[in-house]
Chain A
Amino acid sequence: MKALIVDDSRTMRTILGRVISQLGFEVEQAENGKTAWARLGAGVPPELVLVDWHMPEMTGPELVALMRADARFEHVFVIMVSSEGDPAMIGEALATGANEYIVKPFDAGAVAEKLALVGLGAGGLDSKVEMEWSMR
């Protein structure tokens, strides 16, 4: 399974990448929506896209809207990841076409559970990662 992480922060891409790769995904990264859109159009669509809200060039909601208007990405599971838990923003993200919304700082176990519910991921974090996160 492939996942694309879209965030302008290399730090956040790295943190998310660690979690998602432990769930069995082959992870690719893009630093904004524009780059992500080009990457999506160039190959086989990933099963999962995790996308930040605020990014230069193209925002998360703009990317999600483009994806949902294109039948090639109809079945891609999209999670919006943001530091803002404003209910209006969550509603907007879901209305735009995101499947889930995660607020930073996120719990890695919760990410695994959300993906497991839709049959994505390797069934959970491995014991080492799970233990590390449970200590936090």
Chain B
Amino acid sequence: MEHAMSENPNPQDLGEIVESIWEVFLADGGPIRHAERTEFEPAMTASISISGAWNGLVAIGFSAQAARWSAAHMLGIPLEDLRDADVVDAVGELVNVIGGNVKGIVDAPTDLSLPVVARGRSLSEQSSRAGEVIELHFSWADEPVSVQVIPMAGVQAPSAAAAAHSAR
């Protein structure tokens, strides 16, 4: 993927990143499609922070079913054999790859944190924002998935509350 370096990522770049990752890792579950904004309360949120010349959080929210299907497809195992740790690991890896690709289009140099996975809502309302939040909504296998990029004022890791659920 080729993206222009910019101060903040734009929605088109973010959408392309998400779609390309789904095509490679989750194609078996069908394509991910842009969807209208919904009052979607994620059952699971994975986030990762970027710090340095650009600071912010990248977060991805899943319905419970979307999170489980993601893990089942990536690990190649039936839903009934999934452990909670498998789901946490899979959604954490997805945000790690999205975050790494976002890191590639913001001002350098930056560092990427390890991913953090939390049950429940997005981290966006817990964060001190320093710019316009990009929020994209998708539908995958008829389940909602949302992706946020949240510019922040300085170096901040995902919240301690969320860290309690860290996969790694």
Question: Which of A's residues lie within 8 Å of B, judged by CB?
Answer: 8-12, 14-15, 18, 54, 56, 82-86, 88, 103-107, 135-136
Contacts and interface: CB of A to CB of B under 8 A. Distances in A.
A84 B108 CA distance: 12
* Binding site secondary structure of chain B: helix
B23 A88 contact: no
A54 B112 contact: yes
Interface of B: 20-21, 23-25, 27, 71, 74-76, 86, 89-90, 92-93, 96-101, 103-104, 108-109, 112, 114, 168
Nearest to B109: A88
A56 B114 CA distance: 9
A52 to B, nearest CB: 9
B74 A11 contact: yes
Contacts of B108: 86, 88
Contacts, number: 64
Which of A12, A83, A106 lies at the interface centre, i.e. has the most chain B CB atoms within 10 A of its CB? A83
A105 B20 contact: yes
B104 A11 contact: no
B168 A83 contact: no
14 contacts: A9-B92, A11-B90, A54-B112, A83-B96, A83-B100, A83-B112, A84-B103, A84-B104, A84-B112, A86-B109, A88-B109, A105-B21, A105-B23, A105-B24
Given A9-B93, A10-B75, A86 B104 contact: yes
A12 B114 CA distance: 14
Contacts of B71: 11
Contact of A136 (B24, B92, B104): B24
B93 A106 contact: no
Contact of B100 (A11, A84, A135): A84
A14 B71 CA distance: 11
Contact of A82 (B74, B76, B90, B100): B100
Nearest to A133: B24
A104 B114 CA distance: 15
A14 B104 contact: no
Contacts of A14: 74-76
